[in-house]
Chain A
Amino acid sequence: MADIQQEIRPSRLRRAWDSDLAWSFRHAPVAVVSAFVVLVLVIGAVLAPLIAPHNPFDPATLNLMNGFTPPNQANQFTGDYFILGTDDQGRDVFSTILYGMRISLFVGFAAVLLAMVLGVALGLLAGYLGGWTETIIMRVADVQLTFPAILVAMLIFGIAKGITPPEYRDQMAIWVLILAIGLSDWVQFARVVRGATLVEKNREYVQAARLIGRSPFAIMLRHILPNVLNPVLVIATISLALAIIAEATLSFLGVGAPPTKPSLGTLIRIGQEFMFSGEWWILFFPAATLLALALSINLLGDWLRDALNPRLR
């Protein structure tokens, strides 16, 4: 009987295609378009060294005389051509966006991962163990919630920058950003996971596991975690968009990625100085990219939330 079932079981891909989630995806044009945009941008960022006409992070390749070249025109002094123009330092805006997006996406993913691991772990502990553990973790979370996340991130960034030796500061900036955004964002995960754990921990399967003597950690990881992951997935997606924006905000404020290795936020900061003087492309293209990236991820998150919500089915 088991053997027969095995034989007629469709391939993994086929099963994924036939799943509820995939069906709902295929029937949500917004989600399809968003996923397409995200995919294009992510591929562009990942393959930046292959696609970009030059490496904007290598200052030796810059020619200041190329500065402020308008899009789709040749520079008046050097005759060089740039599809999206150049910024004030003669950096190709197109290449810089691709490279800048690498930083933005990397910081975003890593920060969300950090926030997720931290938040889920603390949420599970708080929800399952209860008592003092719960009180301490959740009160810390409450206190942190009273500060805007960006403020917490700036605080962490300031402290971390202060203790890193100056010669490593440029290299460390990215990691400090990840730490700052990750640590400012774990609360959401912790609260949701704790809530879900509180519901799950009294279910029969958990009681059964407890009765056969599994350790609390095994129960948390093996039994409860898989059942609270759905909302975590949704928050992670939306957090990714928020983390990318948080990174852009920090860099825009001049405390994030250094100007010699610009992320999207740094580019926007550079560009907004030339808003009144007609060099619109320095601001416009990075800003449009950030908008497209954040909006698409957000829309994907929205769709995922609806698709995973049994009440909306």
Chain B
Amino acid sequence: MKKTAFLAAALLASTALSASAETLRWARAGDSLTLDPHAQNEGPTHTLAHQIYEPLIIRDMTGAFQPALATDWAPKEGDPNVWVFNLRQGVTYHDGADFTAEDVVFSINRAKSENSDMKELLTSITEVRAVDDHTVEFVTDGPNPILPSNLTNLFMMDKGWAEANGTVDVQDVEGGEKTFATTNTNGTGPYQLVSREPDVKTVLTLNENYWGADQFPLDVTEIVYTPIQNAATRVAALLSGEVDFIQDVPVQDLGRVAETEGLVVKTAPQNRVIFFGMNQGSDDIANDDVEGKNPLADVRVRRAMSMAINRDAIKQVVMRGQSAPAGMIAPPFVNGWTEEMDSASKTDLDAARALMEEAGYGDGFSIQLDCPNDRYVNDEAICQAAVGMLAQIGITVNLDAKPKAQHFPLITNDETDFYMLGWGVPTYDSEYIFNFLVHTRGSERGSWNGTGFSNAEVDQMIQSLASETDLDKRNDTIQSIWNVVQEEQLYIPIHHQVLNWGMAEKVGIEVSPEDDPKFKFFEIN
């Protein structure tokens, strides 16, 4: 009798506990690459950072602006080159330090520094100054109407903490550096880091002093994040209840998950395009069998390669319908996207072979394709399919698929000649794509442009976008740049991804087009 009473009490206690403490076990294919919030401009890295750090402005789960560390912002009266941000008062970092204007100045300057991967977003900013403790002015090089949309992934770091721990400089990821900020955090965000083992497990717990405690559900009190690269294992974990939420249900298992009692799949088109990049800037490339010249430097070869890709077959078989074939490397969400350009990719093997012949590669050539295997939906399978399709026009492709942590540095270090990349556009504007992927690679822009493409005129046009206030004129320039990108076949677009989040029924959340769950918005029923 005594035993039953004890059991009942224990049971009661445990249910009471679970009502107040909800652990969300979260899995996706890959891990965050670093905890340094300015070192990698990469989706999963930002997703984890968003739980711990906060920018001035965030996008909520629908993609709309929402004040975060800034309460409001507006261009300064009388000076169109200045944006004024009023900061939230009474915000503290996880270690108890106050969040002030000084931290904003520090963080923006840090994100503009050499090793930062975020600097392309801040090229128009010439100065950031603290007016008082809770007001900051951003001075731009000419009026920049879209500045706020560039700040939604720009996290604020405590100046004092960074100085005390020697992490004033951004971690040099490409150089293989590790700093204190790579494994330690001190943000203002809703969750704080408990433990982290990269690629294995990261545990976060609710920040009891979070400023938004009354504004957000904050139902999730603990987050356990386990990257599970293998698709079947990931699904098995969801099916068995080992995890509550996975961000990337493999397309082949959508039916299975949806039919399982207690699980739901939520689907939405993603703000992300998948494409192949080609090194066209070098005179000769290392990863092919053509001596003395670079076949990819010939636009006819690039066009032929694009024509050889059967995007409908990839959609039908590899993606099982969960994609939209693309003709340009901008998702439909983005200003500058046109339906005409996005339907430009046509499969035509005969024309492709003729172009190869014309370019002098009638007998084909061989080249290595570098591909990630834990980043995009069926990334490796898409690359494999491309191997078969390119073989049709005589191009022998050696596929080298590896985890993204090894794949991405190849692109940023110019060590690959033919690679897969996906690009999401958090600013919803083409300028972001141009700055990273089209502009000549340099200290300020072009860090993800692995193509070697460099065109002074195009660079000029791209730079003019930041300060063009006449929106019609700006849009015209955007179209002109796209025309060059399309004409030159700078990239081979494949498709726009569709997001499939799988979760336990108790998890209440809608899919964000950024594939960016912010757990403070999650409700647990």
Contacts and interface: CB of A to CB of B under 8 A. Distances in A.
Interface of A: 58-60, 62-65, 67-68, 77, 88-90, 166-167, 169-170, 254, 258-260, 272-279
B317 A166 contact: no
Contacts of A62: 388, 391
27 contacts: A59-B388, A59-B390, A59-B391, A59-B397, A60-B388, A64-B313, A64-B389, A77-B316, A88-B317, A88-B381, A89-B385, A90-B388, A167-B288, A169-B368, A169-B398, A170-B398, A260-B384, A260-B398, A273-B252, A274-B252, A275-B232, A276-B232, A276-B235, A276-B252, A276-B253, A277-B255, A279-B252
Nearest to A91: B388
Given A60-B388, A276-B239, A279-B252, A68 B317 contact: yes
Interface in B351-375: 366, 368, 373
A100 to B, nearest CB: 15
A65 B317 contact: yes
Contacts of B199: none
Nearest to B310: A64
Contacts of A68: 317
A1 B232 CA distance: 74
A89 B388 contact: yes
B418 to A, nearest CB: 11
B284 interface: no
Interface residues of B, number: 39
B286 A166 contact: yes
Closest 7 CB pairs of A and B: A60-B391, A277-B252, A67-B317, A59-B391, A59-B388, A62-B388, A64-B313
Contacts of A169: 368, 398, 400
B514 to A, nearest CB: 26
B306 to A, nearest CB: 16
A140 to B, nearest CB: 32
A273 B391 CA distance: 25
Given A169-B368, A260-B399, A276-B252, 4 more contacts: A64-B385, A68-B317, A88-B318, A276-B239
Interface in B451-488: none
Contacts of B317: 64-65, 67-68, 88, 90
A166 B368 contact: yes
A278 B316 CA distance: 17
A170 B387 CA distance: 13
Interface string B379-415: 0110011011111100001111100000000000000
Contacts of A273: 230-232, 250, 252
Contacts of A170: 398
Nearest to A68: B317
